[in-house]
Amino acid sequence: MLFLWWLLLCLKICCFSEVHAKKVINKNQNNKESFTMASSCSHMVSCQGKLFHHVQMARIFNDSKTFVDMKLKKSSPLIEKEFQNLLIESKGSPSKEILKDFILKHFDDTGTEFTSWVPEDWKPTPKFVHDVYDRDLRKWVTDLNAIWKNLGRKISPSVKEEEDLYSLIYLPNPFVVPGGRFREPYYWDSYWIIEGLLLSEMHKTARGMIENFVHLVDEYGYVPNGGRKYYLGRSQPPLLIPMAQLYWDATSDIQFLKKITASLEKEFQWWLKNRSTSILVDGLPYQVFQYKVNISEPRPESYYEDIKSADYFPDSNDKELFYQEIRSAAESGWDFSSRWQLEGEEHTANLTDTRIKSLVPVCLNSIMGMNANILSKFFKQLDDEENAKKYEDFALNMSKTISRVLWSERDGIWLDYNLETKKLQPGFYPSNFMPLWAEMYGTEREKSYILEQALAYINRYEIEKFPGGIPTSLMNSGQQWDLPNGWAPLQHIVVLGFHKASKHHPDAEVKALTLATNWVVNNYNNYKSKTPHVMMEKYDVTSLGVGGGGGEYENQEGFGWSNGVVMKFLNMYGHRIRVNHDVDPAPLGVGVFLIFYKLMYLEKD
């Protein structure tokens, strides 16, 4: 009788386990990112579990990212077992000092996963430096070129050999990082880093970084947010294809293009499959893209912050939805901003108001249209007419979608679309100019008319009154992707957008030069004011020479994309931008000589 009771109990447990397993499987089938996360990072004690929770909530480190970046000295199961014993000894409440001692015994400091590396293709004075007429700016951009050596990283072979001890994802080639707490490669940062590397004639380093991202696409189907396992499950603005375009424009390397194009298409298809949706606007169907991560857990690298923010919600389901919103906002690169709060709601610094999953962002849809355009051109280079036509048609459809769904005739600019209200989101954001950069004009309006409206829009908000560059928004929410901060990639997108569009309207180039000048002068003044001289992640645009602030962490030094954008602007306008009004005759003399030489050469011909 006892045996029969035991058998029934076992059957009940087995049935319950099977039902529970089916629920988990079904949940994961609907949420592939969650499965990816669970299978890659959650086995590490530095990413989940009791030790992780105790360390993060005790604030052993001021930055939650520090602990998840540390190397384990022994396997996760062994550390977990020893911590369980520690919990028993401390009656479930180990003190901060006990936790510090435990970490010291079982973890190595951050940075041990890298070996020293200096890029072999680095040179002290790239050619473009000579086209910067202002002697002070020329000296400065030479200094910025030297910073690439400080930001170079190479992953230790031990990361590949003992991958379970690291949160770092092994990559085959060395790379350049943003700097500061951002010790690993980051997806969208790398576009502007590669822009700068190519100007610095560091083609091998730039190619290696693109190959690393291709490696990640081949491994996971997409490029993660950054080069850590805890970033799996979310990406960032998909700029791998434009990175390849930068490299192609600099080298015309057809063999490299042949090698990577299939992987570029694979990533494009991942976004199409996992981040697109169909909507009806004025009775017509449109395919649009969203930042939309469905992982319902706190971010390991911001665990404490996410847990504290989620305390606002009494219901566990609301907490899970909040974690999805936060991860989705992180995927956008704009982490965090009033931009992701819905119209009609009070814009606050509270992250609990983040509703990005209800929005169709201008930026992502512009990028996907641009990516299709670039893929079409790549396939033409490879004589693949069928795929070239397929992506050309896709780009045209995206251009029409952006024009019909996101254009605001009232505002004279493109705006994010609110899926709940089925209306456009008002407000100034540099992302509203993204279709200029992506050249996604649509067919409904003349390009000259669009430029006239876009120029009127930026003038109406008096953006030039900000001496240090373009503000990220006009809302001072306390978040880092809002006023008073300006960010290098957004300056680049707006300036390059107007520069590209200057063929459609003469005032566009004037606007591009003015905005680029403001940003360069701000960066320069801040650089010179610091000892030692450093570049920053973000800047205050309401004054000159002041770094940015707000958000979850302190402003970081380095800094990859800030360096790359300044280099690009000085490459474009180095003959026009001044901080020292004493003209250096050397570049002018060279310029006059070249003009004279060309004239003489043409006359001889």
When pLDDT is cut at 50, 70 and 90, the band that residue 132 belongs to is: very high
Rounded Cα distance between 367 and 349, Å, is: 28
Mean pLDDT for all residues in the chain: 92
Cα→Cα distances 181→151, 172, 290, 441, Å: 12, 22, 28, 38
Q: At what angle do helices 49-57 and 96-106 cross, to 10 degrees?
A: 130
Beta carbons of 106 and 54 less than 8 angstroms apart: no
Q: Which residues contact 124 (CB under 8 A, 6 or more apart)?
A: 142, 145, 146
C-alpha closest to that of 274 among 239, 312, 324, 222: 222
Instruction: Identify the H or E element spanning 107.
Output: strand 107-108
Rounded Cα distance between 76 and 63, Å, is: 22
C-alpha closest to that of 366 among 333, 342, 401: 401
Phi, psi (degrees; rounded to nearest 5) at 187: -60, -70
When pLDDT is cut at 50, 70 and 90, the band that residue 187 belongs to is: very high
**Whether the predicted pLDDT of 586 surpasses 70:** no
Phi, psi (degrees; rounded to nearest 5) at 480: -75, -20
Instruction: Specify which residues 226 forms β-bridges with.
Output: 186
Query: Of the residues 134, 211, 306, 537, which is catalytic?
Result: 537
Rounded Cα distance between 287 and 301, Å, is: 33
Of 36 and 75, more confident: 75
Instruction: Identify the H or E element spanning 289.
Output: strand 284-289
**Whether the predicted pLDDT of 602 surpasses 60:** no
Query: Of the residues 113, 189, 201, 335, which is catalytic?
Result: 335
pLDDT of residue 583: 60
Rounded Cα distance between 69 and 60, Å, is: 14
Record the tokens describing residue 495, joined without a space.
């300036």
Phi, psi (degrees; rounded to nearest 5) at 457: -65, -50
Record the tokens describing residue 93, joined without a space.
């409440």
Q: Which residues contact 248 (CB under 8 A, 6 or more apart)?
A: 256, 257, 378
Rounded Cα distance between 227 and 212, Å, is: 10
Rounded Cα distance between 391 and 369, Å, is: 9
Q: Residue ranges per domain, the chain? A: 33-127+139-273
pLDDT of residue 345: 65
DSSP 182: B
507 belongs to the catalytic site: no
pLDDT of residue 587: 60
Instruction: Specify which residues 107 forms β-bridges with.
Output: 72
Rounded Cα distance between 261 and 267, Å, is: 10
Write the burial class of residue 350 (CB in 10 Å: 0-12 exposed, 13-18 middle, 19+ buried). middle
Find the mean pLDDT for residues 17-31: 35
Rounded Cα distance between 566 and 523, Å, is: 8
Quick: pLDDT tens for 188-247.
Answer: 999 999 999 999 999 999 999 999 999 999 999 999 999 999 999 999 999 999 999 999
pLDDT of residue 343: 80
Rounded Cα distance between 490 and 576, Å, is: 21
Rounded Cα distance between 385 and 391, Å, is: 10
Q: Which residue has the tokens 């790359």?
A: 564
Write the burial class of residue 228 (CB in 10 Å: 0-12 exposed, 13-18 middle, 19+ buried). buried
Q: Which CATH class is domain 33-127+139-273?
A: mainly alpha
The DSSP secondary structure of 45-68, one letter per residue, reads: TTTSHHHHHHHHHTTSSSSHHHHH
pLDDT of residue 42: 64
SS3 428: coil
When pLDDT is cut at 50, 70 and 90, the band that residue 347 belongs to is: low
Quick: pLDDT tens for 256-278.
Answer: 999 999 999 999 999 999 999 99
C-alpha closest to that of 290 among 227, 230, 356: 356
Omega into 336 within 30° of 0, i.e. cis?
A: yes
582 belongs to the catalytic site: no
pLDDT of residue 51: 98
In this structure, are strands 423-424 and 71-72 parallel, antiparallel, or unpaired? unpaired
By percentage, how much of the chain surpasses pLDDT 70?
Answer: 88
Find the mean pLDDT for residues 518-541: 98
Find the mean pLDDT for residues 152-163: 98
SS3 435: helix
Instruction: Specify which residues 287 forms β-bridges with.
Output: 278
In this structure, are strands 175-176 and 152-155 parallel, antiparallel, or unpaired? antiparallel
pLDDT of residue 580: 85
Find the mean pLDDT for residues 156-169: 97
When pLDDT is cut at 50, 70 and 90, the band that residue 116 belongs to is: confident
pLDDT of residue 601: 54
When pLDDT is cut at 50, 70 and 90, the band that residue 591 belongs to is: low
When pLDDT is cut at 50, 70 and 90, the band that residue 575 belongs to is: very high
Rounded Cα distance between 132 and 114, Å, is: 35
User: What sign results for the dihedral spanned by CA atoms 291, 296, 301, 303?
Assistant: positive
Omega into 426 within 30° of 0, i.e. cis?
A: no
Cα→Cα distances 572→131, 333, 381, 569, Å: 9, 26, 27, 5
Instruction: Identify the H or E element spanning 114.
Output: strand 114-115
